[in-house]
Amino acid sequence: MALFTRKSATPQKQRREIPEGFVLPAKTQWSYTPRLLENGFGSGITGIVLTGTELAPRVNLHHDGNDAEMEIGARDGGLEMGFGHFSGSFLSLALGMPEDGVRGLGRNDLVRIALHSRAAEPFKAYARLNLAYGPNTEQIVRMIDIGTDESFAEFDIFYSEFDPQRASDAWIDLIFNEPSGRRFTLSDVVILRRVRASL
């Protein structure tokens, strides 16, 4: 998944985290699975949820609604989210990449987010890769299907202005526009890096 732009005197073992049922694509060099139920929100919360709320390690909820009514709980081993009245224009789940994933990013990498998700009425959302380097943040946006069981979005860093030598943070936002009335379950999420094909 990554062609490293920085060499290390001591080779480091690359992280491989993948839930059962996922198959890593060829040339994957790093993968990570967010622990969606680790903070206990899977036990169930109902009501107004503030923007910036941490749902799990490196998983934060952001929105611009003043009265964001939600139901969040565990269902069939996944994180179920339901939205009632919502006056804002967007809601997003920010999925942070661990430090070792950020440190290995290079210009010849593809970053992919892969989902297992379910919904009574599948819909499309935005997946946005954010790459922070120095005072700048590069953003790459793709569409992704929610509720179609398996789906993914992939980001090609080669065509961005990202400077790997100055990398400080990276995360992927799943952005849901007009979330009112929607309900879906994320059973698994995988973020991975793999090497892009040579031109």
Q: Is residue 43 over pLDDT 50?
A: yes
| Residue 50 resides in a domain | yes
How many beta carbons lie within 10 A of that of residue 150, not counting itself? Answer: 12
| Tokens (6 digits) for 47 | 């009501």
Mean pLDDT of 69-90: 86
Mean pLDDT of 20-29: 86
pLDDT for residue 11: 38
Q: Is residue 2 over pLDDT 60?
A: no
For 153-197, how does the pLDDT look when each residue is reduced to its tens digit (9 = 90+)? Answer: 999 999 999 999 999 999 999 999 888 889 999 999 999 999 987
Q: Is residue 81 over pLDDT 70?
A: yes
Expressed as residue numbers, the domain containing 91 is: 28-194
| Residue 2 resides in a domain | no
| Residue 20 resides in a domain | no
Of 73, 93, 92, 90, residue with least CA distance to 82: 73
CATH number at 57 reads: 2.60.120
Single pTM value for the model: 0.88
| Residue 21 resides in a domain | no
Residue 191, judged by CB atoms within 10 A of its CB (0-12, 13-18, 19+), counts as buried
| Tokens (6 digits) for 149 | 């069981």
Q: Total domain count for the chain?
A: 1
| Residue 68 resides in a domain | yes
| Residue 16 resides in a domain | no
Share of the chain above pLDDT 90, in %: 59
